[in-house]
Amino acid sequence: MAVRRNIALLSALLLVSVSAYVEELDDSFLETRGVDDIWLIKFYTPWCHLCRQLDPLWHQVGSELRSLGSPVNVGKSDGSANTGMAKEFHVRGYPTILMWKKDIKYSYPGPRTRDGILDFANRVGGPLVRSLSSLQLFQHAMSRHDVMFMYVGATSPLKGNYTLAAEELIIYTSFFSGTRDILPKAVSLPILPAVLVFKDGTYYTYNEERDGELKSWIDRERFPNYSKIDSFTLYAMGDSGKLVVLALVEELGSCDEGLRLKGLVEKVAADYRETYSRSFIFGFMEGSDYIQGLVMGEVTLPSLIVVDLSIDAYFLPPSTTKKEKDLLDFLDGVLDGSIQYQGGNSIHQRILRIIYEVKSTVLLVYDQSPAAACLLVSFPFLMISVFFYTCWRVRSAMKNVDGDEATHPSAPLPQRRKILADKKSD
């Protein structure tokens, strides 16, 4: 018993110490916050299940940032009680994670994971564009980032555009700057200033005539050419203007066919990058829940699909993709229009998607609680019945009122005589 009490006491002390790194914020925070303070804030409500699940992780984030000496303060706020805070930050759902830095509010777009949130806090909490002063610092940055952008050269209009793009896209990726002599000799830069992206073990240089607006180019190139993709990342890829080639495989380890399909997609992504990189992003996704919502049906695993998140459309290969040529023919067919997309965001498709989502929700609730599902299905019919019954009662009452008014002494004499004669004849 004594051991149990000691363990319980230690757990309680640990919880209190960790909670000390996360401050509960109310509406007064809007007036008391320092101008230069940087805050990472989670908005929640007491009845939100996902908010409660996120709470232990949130305290870990607060503890980690404090131990690293980060300038980022961590807080949380009950959006249902502190409506001023929720309105100021335009909170629409819960949980919502945002950073407030120098009167600019940044919304966290990634998965609710410790590493994802910490990376966001460290990236947005620091300088928008981090300056690198040596080859060693450049190599260190390369080791920590799958994708990183870099401005090379002196002050110029291009650097101004680069900084403006960083201000908006810092929530997604990392921005650096430096001089030519800190880069490896293998990096060729015939013209300065220049903007580069380092990813996939190589680098690519921005060219305005070929690539268009700088911000749009960064938005397209901020994803690796091939990677593991989750639902958050896939949704964000819709803003890139590219189609996403996905190998869908099982969550708990791929079978031989799944491994073969993943390898085929990765090989084509690497070997044909110059051909397809401006049109496609390649990757694999474990599980098919998100894609099933897009196609509104069951998806067999493993399988191949190309999705266009900008219009909620998808392409399916016309035959089994066994060889490299099969995949290349499929991608070429998507690009030249010989393979038509399915789905889309037309009114008809939106209605079908709403029906599918309602049906899926009811089936999910039924699996967990049949009684609750029956109540959920019957509720709309009950409300319609109540509406028609109320209309019938109102109409009946109005008829009775009209009859009473017609026989009232103040009614016209011919009308009263006619009604009295009708009653006698009855």
Question: Starting at the edge strand that comes first in sequence, how are the strands of the sheet with 243-249 ordered?
Answer: 226-228, 280-286, 243-249, 303-308, 313-315, 342-343
In single-letter form, the type of residue at position 81 comes to A
- For 129, residues 6+ apart whose C-beta sits below 8 A from its C-beta are 151, 162, 163, 166, 175, 176, 177
Catalytic residue among 48, 255, 374, 391: 48
The amino acid occupying position 262 is K
51 included as an active-site residue: yes
For residues 292 and 261, give the distance between their C-alpha atoms in angstroms, rounded to a whole number: 19
Q: Which two tokens stand for residue 335?
A: 């690009």
Q: Is 48 a catalytic residue?
A: yes
Sign of CA dihedral 107, 110, 114, 115: negative
Give the CA angle between residues 59, 106, 232 to the nearest 5°: 75
- Are 149 and 175 in contact by the 8 Å Cβ rule? The answer is yes
**Active-site residue (options: 51, 255, 374, 391):** 51
CB-based burial, 125-138: b 16+ in 10 Å, e otherwise: bbebbbebeeeeeb
Nearest to 29 by CA among 107, 70, 81, 94: 81
Residues involved in catalysis: 48, 51
